[in-house]
Copies of this chain bind each other. A is one copy, B any other.
Amino acid sequence: MSLAIGVIGAGVMGGFHARLFAEEISGARLVAVSDPDPGRAGASAYGAQVFAEGLELIESDLVEAVLVAAPDAAHHELVMAAIRLGKPVLCEKPLASTVAQCREIVEADAGRNLVSVGFMRRFDPAYREMKAALDAGRIGAPLLMHCVHRNLEAPRWFDGSMIVTNAMVHEIDICRWLLDTEYTSASLTQVGDAGDMLLAELHTDRGAVVSVEMFMNAAYGYHVHAEIVGREGTVAMAEPAQVRLRRGGAMQAGYSSDWIGRFADSYRLQDQAWVRACRSGRPCKDMATARDGLLATGYYQQLVEHLPAGGGPLTPRM
């Protein structure tokens, strides 16, 4: 029997996940959506039950597993409730906004593995091929990883630290996963005066260095790039566009305007892997766990302390 899923939050991300569970994920069915705005909830419900409160949804007997796409501040309470009821929960990043809250979740989830965190890049085919090439020894021992993370434009509600907490948190997780390593120290350079560009250098406990360009107002599109440099070669992402247009004096390869355009398939593959894991009882080894969520929050909180520019140790205390 398929897994009965409730989605909490019907904003951009929640609505996107609701559609996936209703239309694209095998072995799942969307049974409930909650949002304080009933119109928004209804628009994403595909005929499923609508709740005003996330906690109500979690407690409903209709719901076997929960996807949390509520505002960040609510994550902790919702995830804890799901754990209490023994229901698997996939929480959009961040797991929680403070290290203390994350730690509480890790402890509550210990030995149960009910909690997953939505670092969907781990399911992106390009990152996965990079990891496969690395793990197969095609590029030798990794020394350096270059990351570029450019947004078309910063959202209006953007403030200085969000460049780390909201955006760079993806690089923090994906590089840990790709390189199978932890960070030991970091330095940050703010580029320009606008607070929308950052150059970060992360040092790892296995010797490799991660260099990250974060640019919130890249103007030309949403663009994520990465290259791992090893002792015997490098592996890098190709341009994401699947076609080339020759027009107006140039060959053109387009970019999405946002992360959903670039990572739509990663979300699908992540949600499919999560459903498969929930149904089989065998955790998906690539899915980010509560512990990964704790580490991501731990790292980004420490990085934020060094803003607008500076450096220091990163201590992944747990």
Residues of A that sit less than 8 Å from B by CB? 2, 22-28, 125-126, 129-130, 133, 138-140, 143-144, 146, 187, 189, 191-193, 197, 199, 201, 203, 207-209, 211, 213, 215, 217-221, 223, 229, 231-239, 241-255, 257, 272, 276
Partner of A252 from B219, B232, B242, B252 at Cβ < 8 Å = B252
CA distance A166 to B224 in the complex (A): 33
Residues of B within 8 A of A234 (CB): 218, 220, 245-247
Q: Decide if A232 touches B249 in the complex (CB within 8 Å).
A: no
Residues of B within 8 A of A130 (CB): 243
Closest chain-B Cβ to A39's Cβ sits at a distance in Å of 24
Closest chain-B Cβ to A213's Cβ sits at a distance in Å of 6
Task: Knowing A144-B199, A199-B209, A219-B231, say if A236 contacts B246 (CB, 8 Å).
Answer: yes
Partner of A250 from B203, B209, B218, B221 at Cβ < 8 Å = B221
Q: Decide if A24 touches B26 in the complex (CB within 8 Å).
A: yes
CA distance A217 to B232 in the complex (A): 9
Q: Decide if B247 touches A232 in the complex (CB within 8 Å).
A: yes
Q: Decide if A238 touches B239 in the complex (CB within 8 Å).
A: yes
CA distance A244 to B272 in the complex (A): 27
CA distance A257 to B250 in the complex (A): 10
Closest chain-B Cβ to A17's Cβ sits at a distance in Å of 13
A-B contact pairs, 23 of them (CB 8 A): A25-B26, A26-B26, A126-B243, A139-B245, A139-B247, A140-B219, A144-B191, A187-B187, A189-B201, A193-B207, A199-B211, A215-B229, A219-B233, A220-B232, A220-B234, A221-B250, A233-B247, A236-B244, A238-B239, A238-B241, A238-B244, A249-B255, A251-B254
